[in-house]
Amino acid sequence: MRRLRVAELQDFLQAHAQQQPVLLDVREPWELERAALRLPGTRALDIPMGELTSRLNELPDDAPIVCLCHHGVRSAHVAAYLAHHGFDEVWDVIGGIDAWSLEMDRSLPRY
């Protein structure tokens, strides 16, 4: 599994813009209501970790998938799962949305 620091995320997304990367947020709906990350040049897809196995068909197999959660634990599990199930370009965001809030956008609420 490949990992990205939040400071690398925007550059990564920009470098892969032609492939239309997917920002896969695996948090629960109540978490998304508190703090959602929407970045230009990405397709945002919100699938809670517990629903992933039944919703795999929603994921593209021809674009990078960048997994995100609160602190990076769930997204790391999801990224490993996807890689194990044949998705080639899967990345995990280290520290999750909390790290994004601390390092990149302090206006994004922490919880």
Give 83's contacts (C-beta < 8 A, 6+ positions apart): 1, 90
Answer yes or no: 67 catalytic.
no
Selected catalytic residue, list 6, 26, 65, 69? 69
- Which has the closest alpha carbon to 64: 37, 98, 90, 97? 90
Supply the residues annotated as catalytic: 69
